[in-house]
Amino acid sequence: MTLMQPASRGFDAINLAGTDADSFAAAVQPYTSRMIRLAARLAPRCGPDDIVQEALIRAWRHRERFDPERGSIASWLMAIVANEARRAGSRLRLPMAVRMPMQRASVDDRIDVEAAVAQLSPRQKLAIDCFYYADLSVLETAAVMGCSESTVKTTLADARARLRIGLGEPR
Amino acid sequence: MTIDQDELVDRALRESGDQWRNSVSNDLRVDPAWFRRSARWSRPAMALLVAGAATAVLLIAVTIRLVLWSAPQTAPGTTAAPSALPSAVATEPITTCAGGVSPATCAEAARIAVSAVASSGWTPMRIWINSGLLCPDQGCLFDPNANFPYPIPPDGGQWVANAEIAFAESDKHAGMNIATDGSGLVPVLIGYRVPALAWCSGTCPSAVTTEGPFRLELVLPHLDWKPGDPITGTAILGFDGPASTTVWGSGGGPIAFSYAEVGGIRAVDPIWSADCAPHLLDPPTPISAGLSKSGAVSGDEPDADFVRSFLFGGPGVRLPAGSWDISAIANFHDGADCSGAAYTVMATVRISVTGELPSSPGPAHPEPNPRGAYVIELSSAGSAFTPITVGAEGAGCERLLADADANRICLIANNLNPLIIGAEAYGALNDAPSPAFHALVWRARADADPLVCGRGGLEGELLDRCLAEAQAADYTYAAGQIQIKVRIGGAAPRPDAID
């Protein structure tokens, strides 16, 4: 099994400081799909497009702070999206999400797996959401979680171990 | 679990992820226009913008009003941002008067200050009118520690104030000194410069958001803090109406604060108690709230450890090193029992927490006050010493014209502000004894205050020499045929002193 996914690094060498709006838009465009998916996973009750737009505006305002020596542009953007998604979710001030019951009898494998994922610990769920659903790399997941890549891998392994129990015999 | 079983789970997750991704729309076209007009969008403003086109124009004006110091950078003469802004943002700038400038002078100064920067094409959003002078060189504009020569007012006029203007389209501020020529105020534009964050320029840093008749301002004493410093600030919710009104919101008050790490994931959003209570908003007496912290931690967030330590780490607002957005958020309704329209107004100020910068701002802009009458004693060609009272406008110094330096020292020492005296060395104060150095000695003796030496900017050996001469019983300044003594405590009463 290979956990590592190739990160999109096409624009990682860009120094964003001083870029104009057009260049900045072009630089971040390749990452919007994953940004939207991440927003949708982390704040499912909020509009992911709005979250990503807000995140991109924040990124634009702080673009001079992006240091390619310290990490990829993708990781930087994902961390900002995660922050925005969390803020958007908290502003709804909804009750704590109710854990979905296990749906072992479901014929929809995805629902079944997602129901099992919902039973994970918050950090395990976050790692799964980022890596498997938002399709982030381990490096980007680490940026979102604020931890090292090895911690992400460990967390993912622990999550899969728990999921095996929750899912029974995965097909 | 065996490797095979782990792979099976991995495969199930990948399939589930693939299916989920196929069910999610992920087509988003990034529009560069988002960035051109992003002069501080707030999330509530964004949400409301979506809510109705009728409010769009108002919201644009509201969000643009959130003027801070890190908007996109352009410079006068370039063709960037101004044209990208919708015309609806042309709101009246907010003027703050400080330093005892009279309201009438302040209002007129603000008016001419705006006219002085019209050629920039930028939209003035905040104006600070203050007493004293800004450094008249663009290189040291807004620098409260800069030494600069006392500028000559235009056409024999007198300086009355200075003006600093913040714009919607740039993080540069305009700076100018303002004089009166007898018939009116005359702006002397110095230039445009980004004020350093450590300076409390004009007044303290603040951000203002206006939504309808409600105005929320967040004011901090300064923008640079040390880790562990208790961060202070005040949010003020005002109401601009003909009479008082009542808003309804949390019983703990409508204002709370959020803290978000810039470019990071650490953030604390506030919570309000669920009760609903009336809060009177009277135009002359706004509701204010000191910076405080509230929030919740559920443990399922990547920054849970930070939130926990922030909330429960003792009293006071303390943030770790980094750049942080502090937002005041006012949540309330305009109808009884929390009915009617709901308002969420947010004003954000960005701060830096670092161990390298001082936790307090530098001194305010130097305020020249050339009215420090004092007494000297003059001896020419060995004659007896004769007392001379140097008048408030320097009258008497002409008696020293036999020596140009002595005459200059006499005039410079007439300033009460040591910074102004030191500035007369044009940046070379500590290189060698200069007229400015001797003027500091004279002023220190006249004021019987040796601390003038240090406050004027002297360091090292020259500071030691100044301190010694300031307190010496037999001090004499000799230049050619003339000798001058300066009485200790010989200064006239200082009703106008600024120190």
Query: Residue-wise pLDDT tens for chain A (171 aa)?
Result: 322 222 333 334 457 777 888 888 888 898 898 899 998 888 877 778 888 888 888 888 778 777 777 678 888 888 888 877 776 665 443 322 222 223 333 345 555 788 888 888 878 888 899 999 888 888 888 888 777 788 888 889 888 888 887 666 544
- DSSP letter string over B24-60? S----PPPHHHHHT-S---HHHHHHHHH-GGGHHHHH
| Chosen from B2, B3, B9, B324 to mutate, greatest number of chain A CBs within 10 A | B9
| Chosen from B13, B83, B309, B311 to mutate, greatest number of chain A CBs within 10 A | B13
Contact B263 A79 (CB under 8 A): yes
Distance from CA of B18 to the nearest CA of A (A): 7
**Interface ipTM:** 0.78
**Tokens 């001469």 label which residue?**
B469
CB contacts under 8 A, B 258-297 vs A, are 258, 260-267, 269, 271
Contact A91 B43 (CB under 8 A): yes
B57 to chain A, any CB pair closer than 8 A? The answer is no
CB contacts under 8 A, A 138-157 vs B, are 144-147, 157
| Chosen from A90, A99, A114 to mutate, greatest number of chain B CBs within 10 A | A90
Chain B residues whose beta carbon lies within 8 Å of the beta carbon of residue A136: none
**DSSP code at position B444:** H
* Residue in B with minimal Cα distance to A159: B9
Distance CA(B197)–CA(B291), nearest Å, equals 19
Contact B202, B164 (CB under 8 A): yes
Q: State the alpha helices, DSSP H only, in B328-432.
A: 404-412, 418-423
Distance from CA of A41 to the nearest CA of B (A): 10
**DSSP code at position B74:** -
Q: What letter represents residue B49's amino acid?
A: L
Instruction: Let me know if B208 is exposed, middle or buried by CB neighbors in 10 A (0-12, 13-18, 19+).
Output: buried
| Chosen from B1, B18, B23, B26 to mutate, greatest number of chain A CBs within 10 A | B26
CB contacts under 8 A, B 10-29 vs A, are 10-17, 19-21, 24-29
Distance from CA of B241 to the nearest CA of A (A): 29
Contacting residues for B475 by C-beta, under 8 A, at least 6 apart: B441, B445, B469, B485, B486
* Residue in A with minimal Cα distance to B8: A170
The pLDDT score that the predictor gives to residue B374 is 84
The pLDDT score that the predictor gives to residue B486 is 92
Tokens matching residue B230: 């208790």
Contact B302 A157 (CB under 8 A): no
Contacts 24+ apart (CB under 8 A), A65-69: A65/B262, A65/B263, A65/B323, A66/A15, A66/A16, A66/A17, A66/B263, A68/A12, A68/A13, A68/A14, A68/A15
Other C-beta atoms closer than 10 Å to the C-beta of B8 total 19
CB contacts under 8 A, A 6-65 vs B, are 20-22, 24-26, 28-29, 32-37, 40, 48-50, 52-54, 56-57, 60-62, 65
CB contacts under 8 A, A 86-115 vs B, are 86-88, 90-91, 93, 96, 109-110, 113-114
Degrees to nearest 5, angle at CA B174 with B60 and B168: 10
Distance from CA of A132 to the nearest CA of B (A): 5
| Regions of chain B with pLDDT less than 70 | 1-4, 26, 36-91, 99-100, 143-150, 168-171, 194-205, 284-285, 297-301, 314-315, 355-372, 392-393, 426-427, 492-499
Distance CA(B349)–CA(B220), nearest Å, equals 8
The pLDDT score that the predictor gives to residue B117 is 93
Chain B residues whose beta carbon lies within 8 Å of the beta carbon of residue A160: 1, 6, 9-10, 13
Contact A82 B265 (CB under 8 A): yes
* Residue in A with minimal Cα distance to B18: A133
Task: Kindly report the average pLDDT of chain B as a whole number.
Answer: 74
The pLDDT score that the predictor gives to residue A123 is 82
Contact B484, B378 (CB under 8 A): yes
| Chosen from B16, B29, B49 to mutate, greatest number of chain A CBs within 10 A | B16
Distance from CA of B56 to the nearest CA of A (A): 16
Enumerate the β-bridge partners of residue B97: B129
Tokens matching residue B493: 């009463």
Tokens matching residue B151: 């500028």
Distance from CA of B311 to the nearest CA of A (A): 16
Instruction: Let me know if B246 is exposed, middle or buried by CB neighbors in 10 A (0-12, 13-18, 19+).
Output: middle
